[in-house]
A and B are shown apart, each in its own frame.
Chain A
Amino acid sequence: MSTEGLTTSAYIKHHLQNLTCSFQEGHFHCAHTAEEAKAMGFWAINMDTILVSLLLGLIFLFLFSRVAKSISSGVPSGMQNFVEWVVEFIDSSVRGSFNGRSALVAPLALSIFAWIFLMNLMDLVPIDYISLITQPLGIGHFKLVPTTDPNATIGMAIGVFLLVLFYSIKVKGLGGFVGELTLQPFGKFGLPVNLFLEGVNLIAKPVSLALRLFGNMYAGEMIFILIALMGASWMSFSFASTLLFSSQVILSLGWAIFHILIVTLQAFIFMTLTIVYLDMAHQEHH
């Protein structure tokens, strides 16, 4: 445990702090405290989020493209079996909720699902283990779960939002899209109300995508931290300490098992909503 000499609130803050770095006065510098990170402003980068998500994305693409390269239509085995299972699951989900024809939506859904699933899965790594690696390297803060960083989820939601805008304009034309925003549901005389309602409707899509994923994963991570604190309050072989410690073991096991569900579910929800939003972008309103 890296909690010796730390208060409970410091422990929690430590675990919720990203490795925020930026170029300052010509050299690359990483923040040590939350205040320092805040002072870096917008042009800073959370190195842990970027590195972990990049690595996980590469693992996903490496595994899948390796299978895709050597895939055969004969009897599948091993890794190919698994990849085909995932691909068919995604494909049937897309077919179920996307009515148009698009070469983009299915691979987009696969990327979203696999990437978010892997990022969420990092939540199951015991929270203090990562510091066993990062502390000797002199890295103070390292959040292993990119989806507990709002930047990651908002970044993806922006990507989806841009695609929604692109396809809305591509399918309906600029005029059609603007018309959709302004001329309904109350006709052309209710234009300001229409614009407000449809604008909220439009903006709600990326916001709900980003905040749902972030909120769920952040809350889950928070509970892991709180459970970890039970064992961290070990004092001696007293009854209370032993009870707390065994509670940590049982609770973290239970929460981790429950989290397997959340990890998959959140990835699936993000994917399904993306498909639905793109389906709506492809459809003319009536």
Chain B
Amino acid sequence: MNINATLIGQTIMFALFVWFCMKFVWPPIMAALDARNKRIADGLAAAERGKNDLALAAKHSAELLREAKEKVAEIIALGDKRASEIVEEAKAQAKIEGERIVTAAKAEVEQEVFRAKEQLRTQVSAIALAGAGKILGREIDAKAHNDLLDKLVAEI
């Protein structure tokens, strides 16, 4: 327990240790800690920003969705309207066409009937003539009584 030169050695060692610590130990560690502080602060700020962006995007997407729904409803209504229109048009056209066909068919039938009547008349007059001829025999001249016959034909 004597005071001796150890004192001086200890002071010198102390000074050297402090110098070394100040030069090579403390600054890099503090720099790294500060850098980490900054990174954490930046990260937190970025997270905050991201959260805001997300909220904004969610709002925007909801708006878009709503708009799209509206548009779709509009388009569907338009389509429905157009479809019923087309159906109506088709119905009207079909009616007109049907009527036309019916009319044409009726006309044709009438014509046919007329033609058949004409034919029938001619044939009936011929038969009548032939029958009358047979009944009257020779006395009746076909030429002389042609007028009569024609009248008869017209009456039938």
Contacts and interface: CB of A to CB of B under 8 A. Distances in A.
Does A associate with B in a complex? Answer: yes
Interface of A: 16, 18, 20, 37-38, 40-46, 49-50, 53-54, 57, 60-61, 64-65, 67-69, 71-74, 76, 83-84, 87-88, 91, 103-104, 106-108, 110-112, 115, 146, 149-152, 154-156, 158-159, 162
A67 B27 CA distance: 12
Given A16-B1, A45-B6, A76-B36, 14 more contacts: A40-B2, A42-B4, A43-B4, A45-B4, A61-B25, A64-B21, A64-B25, A73-B36, A84-B32, A152-B10, A155-B6, A155-B13, A156-B11, A162-B11
Contacts of A159: 11, 14-15, 18
Interface in B24-80: 24-26, 28-30, 32-33, 35-36, 39
Contact of B10 (A71, A88, A155, A162): A155
What does DSSP make chain B's interface, helix, strand, loop or mixed? Answer: helix
13 contacts: A44-B2, A44-B5, A54-B13, A61-B20, A68-B26, A73-B36, A87-B29, A104-B22, A108-B18, A115-B14, A152-B10, A155-B6, A156-B14
What does DSSP make chain A's interface, helix, strand, loop or mixed? Answer: helix
B154 interface: no
A212 to B, nearest CB: 16
Contacts of A107: 18, 21-22, 25-26
Contact of A61 (B9, B17, B32, B35): B17
A41 B4 CA distance: 7
Nearest to A156: B14
A151 B18 contact: no
B7 interface: yes
A156 B6 CA distance: 11
B3 interface: yes
Contacts of A103: 22
A53 B13 contact: yes
B8 to A, nearest CB: 7
B4 to A, nearest CB: 5
A162 B12 CA distance: 12
Contacts of B21: 61, 64, 107-108, 110-111
Contact of A151 (B4, B29, B30, B39): B4
B26 to A, nearest CB: 4
B14 A65 contact: no
Contacts of A74: 36
A155 B33 contact: no
Given A73-B36, A111-B21, A68 B28 contact: yes
Given A151-B7, A152-B10, A154-B3, A73 B22 contact: no
B95 to A, nearest CB: 83
